[in-house]
Amino acid sequence: MDNSFGLISTVALLGAAQGVFLALALLNARNGDTRAHRLLALLTFFFALDLGEEYLYQTGFFHSVPNLLQGLAPIDLLYAPLIYLYVLQLTSPGVERNLRGVYWHLLPALTGIVLLLPFYLLDGADKLELTEKLRKGGDIGNDTPHAMLIQLGLTLFILGTIVQIGVYLLYSIKRLKHHSVSIRNEFSDIDRINLVWLRNLLLGIGCIFILYLGDQFFPDLMGMNILGDAITVIIVILIYTMGYLGLRQPIIFTKALQSEQSTSAANTQPSEEKYNRSGLDRETSLVFLNELTGYMEMNKPYLEGDLVLPQLAQQLGITTNYLSQIINEQLSFNFYDFINGYRVEEAKKFICQAGQEKPNILNIALESGFNSKSAFYTAFKKATSMTPTQYRKTLISPVL
């Protein structure tokens, strides 16, 4: 144990302090989804506690008070449920949840306390000696009181933590994928609601999970606690990332998705399943399709950057489900690609009109209904396999 302010201990201390600050900031945030902010604040605070414990260990604090060792270990079983609940809240904020269902997620942490109870009952000197052995990859040894019971409890605790994090991560990724499909079936602009940053956050958590696995099998890699130190550094990075990006959740996401929650859930199902009970027959569907295409060409509703499926359905005088079915079944598009296809065609006209002059790409994007240059580039390249600049060159120098 290094009783000094080394690099890792300094990083851990700074991360812990920042984590507490960001947790307070999230709790006091009034914009966006306040329930999601609370979940993220709790997650950040737990990370800060773990970093604080690591700092105390690195600086030799537990030599003086060894009875506090591993006191925060059960928190490891709270990370995964909090992450999943946070993802669930952001991807379906309009759904009210039974608190009893939430409490079930706390059960593993309580179980963890029971599994670690034999360790907690040791005296301070034995706790310190055993912790040193475990961090260096050594065996508990038969000289430790109740060695077999302690070994069993620690093994079950570690295995339970690994399984729990893996399962919750998979469910979180599945939920985020569900959300990605859903918003493309309802929104024509997804830049502010695609939660790409949340996907990256889950990737970061996944990296910590892999390092945690490695640390259990190779705790003293190359004679150093390399994997454990790497976990500390990544947690500090995640604390800054969670606080910064979490506070930027757009209010429009919460309001828009709440009003169309039932439609979102249905839109993630395969077409043959979600339209089984639809009263829209093929003949009527084709009539509505003609009305839709005529309306799109005549009124150009796609020029409105924030156009959503219910809004277009209201303009056409049909239900949201019918419009979704027509676009999905008759055109084999989701709403996002359907609308942006018209916007790309509109952009092509502006590029053609520019002639030899170099067009202002941002102006063309905005005039065509896109809300950002990045969204314009992505949609344009997807539709034409070219960037707007490359497309312009083909007009000036046609390929023979």
- pLDDT tens digits for 35-69? 888 888 899 999 999 999 999 988 989 989 999 99
pLDDT of residue 133: 81
* 268 lies in the same domain as 301: yes
Domain count, the chain: 2
* 72 lies in the same domain as 87: yes
- Using a pLDDT cut of 70, give the percent of the chain over it: 84
Q: What distance in Å separates the CA atoms of residue 113 and residue 120, rounded to the nearest whole number?
A: 9
* 124 lies in the same domain as 143: yes
Look at residue 267 and tell me whether its pLDDT is greater than 90.
no
Q: Considering 206, 236, 259, which residue would you say is the last residue of a domain?
A: 259
- Using a pLDDT cut of 90, give the percent of the chain over it: 47
The CATH number of the domain holding residue 142 is 1.20.1070
Residue type, 230: A
Look at residue 273 and tell me whether its pLDDT is greater than 80.
no
Look at residue 130 and tell me whether its pLDDT is greater than 60.
yes
296 part of a folded domain: yes
Range of the domain at 384: 261-396
Which among 126, 107, 109, 15 is positioned nearest to 69, based on CA atoms?
Answer: 126
377 part of a folded domain: yes
Q: Considering 259, 276, 303, which residue would you say is the last residue of a domain?
A: 259
* 161 lies in the same domain as 67: yes
Higher-confidence position of 394 and 336 = 336
Look at residue 29 and tell me whether its pLDDT is greater than 90.
no
152 part of a folded domain: yes
* 169 lies in the same domain as 245: yes
Q: Considering 212, 239, 259, which residue would you say is the last residue of a domain?
A: 259
* 226 lies in the same domain as 138: yes
pLDDT of residue 255: 39
Higher-confidence position of 191 and 367 = 367
pLDDT by residue (tens digit) across 229-265?
889 999 998 887 776 665 554 443 343 344 344 444 4
pLDDT of residue 227: 85
* 160 lies in the same domain as 268: no
* 81 lies in the same domain as 193: yes
* Residue 400 pLDDT grade (very low, low, confident, very high; cuts 50, 70, 90): very low
pLDDT by residue (tens digit) across 145-164?
778 888 899 889 999 999 99
Average pLDDT, the chain: 84
Look at residue 216 and tell me whether its pLDDT is greater than 70.
yes
pLDDT of residue 252: 33
Look at residue 367 and tell me whether its pLDDT is greater than 60.
yes
In the chain, the N- to C-terminal Cα span, in Å, equals: 73
The CATH number of the domain holding residue 383 is 1.10.10.60
Which among 171, 156, 165 is positioned nearest to 211, based on CA atoms?
Answer: 165
Look at residue 345 and tell me whether its pLDDT is greater than 50.
yes
Indicate the pTM of the whole model: 0.82
Give 130: exposed, middle or buried? Use CB within 10 Å, 0-12, 13-18, 19+: buried
Look at residue 360 and tell me whether its pLDDT is greater than 80.
yes
Contact 388, 347 (CB under 8 A): yes
Higher-confidence position of 252 and 181 = 181
Tokens at residue 271, please?
């077409």
Strand partners, 308: 187
pLDDT of residue 269: 55
389 part of a folded domain: yes
2 part of a folded domain: no
* 109 lies in the same domain as 211: yes
pLDDT of residue 397: 61
* 174 lies in the same domain as 233: yes
* Residue 217 pLDDT grade (very low, low, confident, very high; cuts 50, 70, 90): confident
Strand partners, 187: 308
pLDDT of residue 282: 85
* 352 lies in the same domain as 385: yes
Q: What distance in Å separates the CA atoms of residue 365 and residue 380, rounded to the nearest whole number?
A: 10
Look at residue 348 and tell me whether its pLDDT is greater than 70.
yes
Tell me the CA distances in angstroms from 285 to 176, 247, 327, 336, 389, one per residue in order: 31, 43, 10, 20, 38
* Residue 385 pLDDT grade (very low, low, confident, very high; cuts 50, 70, 90): very high
H-type alpha helices, the chain? 7-28, 34-58, 61-64, 76-91, 99-103, 107-120, 124-135, 147-184, 196-217, 226-246, 251-259, 261-267, 271-274, 282-299, 309-316, 320-325, 335-354, 361-367, 373-384, 388-396
* 319 lies in the same domain as 211: no
- Quick one: how far is CA 59 from the chain centroid? 34
pLDDT of residue 399: 47
